[in-house]
Structure 1
Amino acid sequence: MRGSRRCGARTRKGSPCQAPAVSGKKRCRMHGGATGSGAPKGNMNALKSSMFTKEMKAERARFREMIVESKELLMKVERS
C-alpha cells in the first residue's frame, strides 16, 4: 500500500492528494478513478450555455472558414 502510485489530483488546499490511485488509473476513487464516476454520456444537467456543444463548435468552424475565404477573395479583388 505504501509503495503504490498516488493520485495526481490536487486537494482544496492545493497540495497533492495522498490517496492511492485505483489500479490502472491515475486518480483515486474520490477523484474520478472509480468505475461509474463522472457524469453520464449526454448529461444535460450541467449544460449552462450552448457555447460548447458539438453544433456550436461546428458552426464557429464554418464561420472561421467563411471569414478566411472572404479575406482571400478581398485580396484577389484588391490586386486586380
Structure 2
Amino acid sequence: MKDDDNPMSAANTAPRCTARSKRTGKPCQGPAVAGWTVCRFHGAGGGHPAGKDHPSWRHGMRSQKWISERKMLNDMVREARAMEQLIETTD
C-alpha cells in the first residue's frame, strides 16, 4: 500500500498539538488544525464572536466602548468639581 493511499497519512504527518495535560504534563500529540498550533479539542477555531453576536450578550454596558466612555465622563466630572472648588475658594 502506498503512503498516499492511506487517508490517515495527512493526519500522521500534520504538525502536533502544543497543548499540555494539566494532570500528567505530557503533550497532547493530536494533529493540529491547519493555521493553528492546537488541535480541535484544545480550542482551534472555537469560541464565539465578540460583541452583539455573542449568545450571552445582554446590554453592552460592560463593553470596552462603554467602559472608556464612562471613564471619560468621570474625568470630566472630576475636572468640573475641581473647577467648582477653585471658584468657591476664590470667593
TM normalised by structure 2 equals: 0.50
Q: Displacement of 1:27 after TM fit? A: 1.1
Percent identity, aligned pairs only, is 26
2:38 to 4, 27, 30: 27
Q: Which runs of 5+ in 2 are unaligned?
A: 1-11
Q: Which has the larger radius of gyration?
A: 2
Shift of 1:10: 3.7
Root mean square deviation of aligned Cα = 3.1
Q: Which has the higher contact order (CA 8 A, sep 6+)?
A: 1
Partner of 1:73: 80
Unaligned 5+ runs, structure 1: none
More helix by share: 2
Q: Deviations over 1:29-59 (max 9, x none)?
A: 32233xxx53565352xx2x74xx6x22133
1:65 Cα deviation from its structure 2 partner: 1.4
Distance 1:62 1:12, change over 3 A: same
* 1:8 corresponds to: 18
Distance 1:79 1:8, change over 3 A: farther
Distance 1:59 1:11, change over 3 A: same
Give the number of aligned pairs. 70
Residue 69 (structure 1) shift: 0.6
In the TM superposition, structure 1's runs of 4+ consecutive aligned residues that sit over 3 Å from their partners are: none
